[in-house]
Chains A and B, each alone.
Chain A
């Protein structure tokens, strides 16, 4: 048996933050030509380990060994120059710069001291083409969806000359299709001998592409496994330290097929936005979860933003609680007891300077208004309750939210809106970057809140999740609402079929090719129009 020496190694690495032991004597071995999954719950220390390997942090104890040499990278720039290219979980792209600038920033090729724009644009285009993304690279980044932005971040990290590629949750906002494109590239790089570290909370993806796994729990090293020797179930137990709570919560979902008894409180007709979504009708009903099914860029987020008054519609009309008229801005929406948990937590959700407590109670405080200030004691109570419920990993509620791990930050945003207890809550990718255990918790809570009368608009790239939580699903394709499913029609296969079916009939200009009637009580069969 010949022994391949690891290309990158961590030996007994420890890293301590105030109040948290993020890593405690962790070992890690990356071989050349393998895809190595780094697994663990939110806050287990995955990102911290990556940062210790690449020079963002210097480990308090332990060694980093790269190509048989002990190394001390003092900055990420150094490690990337040495051949470790990294896509960090929280990518600092600059929305106002162009796509090409974002990809090439920091390593602009100069020609006689002048930036060579032709080269930059061509280079950016080339890198994106590898990921099968074809966009205008001179447009500013902010014009593109979160998914494209994530692809841009990945392209930025792709360096064909590198020996190691590290991807920290690269697929968190990609759908299956996009993820597959990424995997094709990764596999190719692996076959060329590159060592790849892959972090993801999607177990399916991990099992699809990883060769070996290293599991961390609570900053402790649990073990290193061949992918074949560990079943998903065993992996979950290794990650959580216990078995996964089953998704048992039985809501009224499947018992009520008759929907006519639920009151519609928000109705839009022919709502559209130029370059956003084509005209659509939507009824939102009290005590119901409406899922939005569809692929990336199908217009899900655009619908959410229109409904919440963030974007102005081009056409259509709306009535809310019996009053006709659009919601013009988020303030109005909040006054109507609406809530919006946005997709991009860093830009649209977190208030980085504030503590976890303040971030959690903020929406509730806005609801109470300026003068009814919640006492700090009360705030602490609420924050501590959600820290416990959602298992937010932190030494205290008084820690700055920016110190949390990515998934825990996401939990804070979700907690913020659950704490505010709005009558209508839009959840745009609420479980993005959240581990398997907490995901189940959040889904449970969504259904609990629904049963208490909250109406929810649920958006997720994970079809399973949408199917599990929704009473009704609006299916979108190419920025176009093509169908509405309810009752027994709600299943991943129906949704995929509906999307594919619309594909063959492709004519995006008429309103609905496939329509399923969910309005009349009792009748819920699909009427497929030709």
Chain B
């Protein structure tokens, strides 16, 4: 009898990795030119780069969402927080625009245009966290509040306008490139590494998983679960804010109605496809793969000329299949199916021996 040890952490991301590779394989076979790369003005272009570049905002929010999800929570407000942070940035660059003044005034330095929206986003996250931890409102309800109200707040800031602007340094965030890579992709890498070090090189990750997996036991051990939950919601807010800035910088405009619309769903799907357990183990690598899967479906559909309205249907199919493959019950059913076949064979063999 063979005994094999399995490494849980690798096992966790095998599903999403396989799914991503499958989509790429499909494109390799059926979508001409999908893997073509070219370098224009020192920057890489091509469908593959596009997946990473377009997928960056979802990847960033999904990273924040991962931690929230691991504590047994959820954050529906990320899309609205994106809109808020974009609106704040645009407003700072062009404060007169909403009252019809087209002149810019003195351009604020880029660090301010980034930092202040992020602070606002952090406050939004704090609000969610307080509702969940101190007022003990169900996360899905608590964050629904800001999901609905947040877009209203963004509208208030832009007074219902789409604030378009130019700010060269800020635009770098959306469309610049660094060492040949699009800046959004670089940002994903930086944030993912930062999160990895913050949570996996300290005990934070362990505590997050403990609180999610068994809150009572964690409380008895002396883990300050409130503070940890608060922290992950704030962090998720900041991630959403950052994603909002990237999109706003990319389109050079803040559209409170559409910025980040339905992104929360993509982010949650990415987290789930990635293999993070609701209230339990999380994997940042899995989440990144999950977001890439979702984006690659979109890119595939667009590059194959299928009507974009169908994107949602295909996404739903992929989310369903990956989660089914990952669910323990499904696996058990498959194993049982397999076993019952084997059993029949072995029982026949046995009856042969007896007679």
Q: Does A351 contact B (CB under 8 A)?
A: yes
Q: Which of B38-46, B134-142, B155-163, B200-208 contacts A (4 or more CB under 8 A)?
A: B200-208
Q: What residues on B are CB-neighbors of A372 within 8 Å?
A: 203
User: A348 at the A/B interface (Cβ < 8 Å)?
Assistant: yes
Whether the Cβ atoms of B1 and A21 lie closer than 8 Å is: yes
Question: What 1/0 mask marks residues of chain A from 20 to 64 whose CB sits below 8 Å from any chain B CB?
Answer: 110000000000000000000000000000000000001011010
Known: A72-B343, A342-B220, A370-B202. Is A362-B210 also a contact (CB below 8 A)? yes
* Partner of B214 from A60, A308, A330, A351 at Cβ < 8 Å: A351
Q: Does B27 contact A (CB under 8 A)?
A: no
Which of B2-10, B110-118, B249-257, B314-322 forms contacts with chain A?
A: B2-10
- Which of B5, B224, B347 contacts A331, CB < 8 Å? B224
The answer to whether A18 and B6 touch across the interface, beta carbons within 8 angstroms, is yes
Q: State whether the Cβ of A71 lies closer than 8 Å to any Cβ in chain B.
A: no
Interface of B, secondary structure class, is helix
| CB contact between A334 and one of B5, B6, B204, B222 (< 8 Å): that residue | B222
A65 contacts the other chain (CB 8 A): no
Place the interface of chain A in its size category.
Answer: 35 or more
Task: Determine the interface band of chain B, counting residues with CB < 8 A from chain A.
Answer: 35 or more
Q: Measured between C-beta atoms, what is the minimum distance from B134 to chain A in Å?
A: 15
* A355: nearest chain-B partner, CB-CB: B8
B93 to chain A, nearest CB (A): 38
CA distance A358 to B201 in the complex (A): 14
Looking at the complex, which one of B203, B213, B340 makes contact with A370 (CB distance below 8 Å)?
B203
**How would residues 1 to 44 of chain B score, 1 for a CB under 8 Å from any chain A CB and 0 otherwise?**
10111111000000000000000000000000000000000000
| Residue of chain B at shortest CB distance from A376 | B200
B-chain residues with CB within 8 Å of residue A398 when the two chains form the complex: 5, 7-8
Is the Cβ of A352 less than 8 Å from the Cβ of B6? no
A353's contact among B204, B213, B224, by CB below 8 Å, is which? B213
A 437-495 contacts with B by CB, 8 A = none
Known: A60-B339, A370-B207. A352 touches B213 (CB 8 A): yes
Interface contact B202-A373, CB-CB below 8 Å? yes
Query: Could you say which residues of chain A place their CB within 8 Å of the CB of B303?
Result: none
Q: Encode contact with B along A331-344: 1 for CB under 8 Å, 0 otherwise.
A: 10111000010100
Known contacts being A335-B222, A340-B220, A352-B214, is A365 close to B8, with CB within 8 Å?
no
Q: Determine if A348 and B216 form an interchain contact, defined as CB atoms under 8 angstroms apart.
A: yes
Kindly provide the distance from the CB of A424 to the nearest chain B CB, expressed in whole angstroms: 13
A373 with B203, Cβ < 8 A, contacts A342-B220, A351-B213, A363-B221 known: yes
Q: Are A353 and B7 neighbours in the complex by a CB distance under 8 Å?
A: no
Partner pick for A58 among B1, B277, B281, B336, CB 8 A cutoff: B336
How would residues 189 to 205 of chain B score, 1 for a CB under 8 Å from any chain A CB and 0 otherwise? Answer: 00000000000011110
How long is the Cα–Cα vector from A254 to B36 in the complex, in angstroms?
83
A19 at the interface (CB under 8 A from B): yes
Complex alpha-carbon distance, A396 and B8, angstroms: 12
Report Cα–Cα, A329/B15, bound state, in Å: 41
Give Cα distance in the complex from A329 to B277, angstroms: 28
Cβ of B6: which chain A residues have Cβ within 8 Å of it?
Answer: 18-19
Is the beta-carbon distance between B218 and A351 smaller than 8 angstroms? Answer: yes
* Residue of chain A at shortest CB distance from B2: A16
| A74 interface residue per 8 A CB criterion | yes
**Contacts A18-B4, A370-B203, A370-B204; is A331 near B222 (CB within 8 Å)?**
yes
Contacts of A74 in B (CB 8 A): 336
Question: Could you say which of A20, A63, A331, A373 contacts B201, with CB atoms under 8 Å apart?
Answer: A373
Q: Is the beta-carbon distance between A354 and B216 smaller than 8 angstroms?
A: no
Query: Which chain A residues lie closer than 8 Å to B202 at the CB level?
Result: 370-371, 373
B217 at the interface (CB under 8 A from A): yes
CB of B160 to closest CB in A, whole Å: 44
Bound Cα distance from A308 to B221, whole angstroms = 11
Residues of A within 8 A of B (CB): 16, 18-21, 58, 60-61, 63, 72, 74, 308, 310, 329-331, 333-335, 340, 342, 347-355, 358, 362-363, 365-366, 368-374, 395-396, 398, 400, 416
Can you list 25 pairs linking A and B with CB atoms under 8 Å apart?
A60-B339, A74-B336, A310-B220, A329-B219, A330-B222, A331-B222, A335-B222, A342-B217, A347-B214, A347-B216, A348-B220, A351-B213, A352-B213, A353-B209, A355-B8, A358-B206, A358-B210, A362-B210, A362-B221, A366-B203, A366-B207, A373-B201, A395-B3, A398-B8, A400-B8
Other 9 A-B pairs with CB < 8 A, given A371-B202, A373-B201: A21-B1, A331-B224, A351-B210, A362-B206, A362-B210, A370-B203, A373-B202, A398-B5, A398-B7
The 5 closest A-B pairs by CB, nearest first: A334-B222, A353-B280, A353-B213, A331-B222, A373-B203
